Amino acid sequence: MALGVVSRFADHLQHFTPAYYEVKGVTGVWHNALPYAIPMISVFGDNRLSKAHPEWVQIGPDGERATRASRYFDWDAICPSHDATFDQGLNWVAEAVRQSGSGTVRLDDVTYAREGFCQCQTCQTKSQDAGMTLNAFRIQRLVDFVRQAHLIAPHLHMTLFPDPFPGHLQRRFGVDPDRLAHDVEAFVVPIYDLHYATTYWLEILAEAFLELIPGRYYIELYGLQVPEEALLHACQVAQAYCDGVIVAYENHLPKLQRIEERLALDS
Ligand SMILES: [Zn+2]
């Protein structure tokens, strides 16, 4: 099985498949796409846009705003229900396709922030106009976004939040893998830890997503400063359940290459 990476280092990307390069992360800064890499876009996570357009920030129960100031969030979540954020997301996909010269793009943060989000005025008005519950509206909105992104990028990968409990992706995040499967070529599930000192929980999640995800499925592990033997072991556990293992943010190329060699021997 091939090892994939998420990397900021151009010289790492050509060695691994798939190789993802973040053209836009949650900070909102754009980095031009690189050859040999799949551009990855944080679509509805954007600290810069939330500052420029506070009216786009997702709103939860009791008016709680989905920003870093809240207890729940590490970045600011903007609401996919606005036409402007929806169109901006599609423009980023188009720009990534144009710059990379390939038709593959990974969608990150195509999601509502968590349960109860978003209840902004736009979400309420649009769901009522459509005669849908808020939950049904959210799911439909993200299906529509991914479908339109697929018209621009022929090959889509998409990140899922690592919550495989039945119904949680739909109810908490407005994400329905079964309804997205037609447009998504591979789902990527980040299962991060800083040590991977134990892996039983990783195995539980890995197997649960194998049952849940229709089609191709990658597990993404966190790599930076994780001890090499522990990371290798986590990769070995993960690869038994998925179609590919991805290591994110490791900055040491020989470590990644040694792990890849050991995984190849196992498979
Ligand atoms: Zn909203």
> ∠ at Cα 227 (223, 233), nearest 5°?
80
- Distance from residue 115's CA to the centre of ligand 1 (Å): 13
The reported pLDDT for the residue numbered 266 is 83
Domains along the chain with CATH numbers: 3-266 (3.20.20.80)
User: In this predicted model, what pLDDT tens digit does every residue of 103-129 receive, in sequence order?
Assistant: 999 999 999 999 999 999 999 999 999
- E strands, 17-103, in order: 19-24, 38-42
Interval 157-173: pLDDT, tens: 999 999 999 999 999 99
The arithmetic mean of pLDDT across residues 199-205, rounded, is 98
Q: What residues have their beta carbon closer than 5 A to ion ligand 1?
A: 79, 81, 118, 120, 123
What mean pLDDT comes out for the span 130-154? 98
pLDDT band for position 255 (cuts 50, 70, 90): very high
The rounded distance, in Å, linking the Cα atoms of 93 and 146 is 10
Distance (Å) from CA 74 to ligand 1 centroid: 19
Q: How far apart are the CA of 171 and the centre of ligand 1, in A?
A: 15
For position 27, what pLDDT does the model report?
96
| Residue 254 CA from chain centroid, whole number | 26
Average pLDDT of span 168-188: 98
Residue 197's pLDDT band, with cuts at 50, 70 and 90, is very high
pLDDT score, position 2: 75
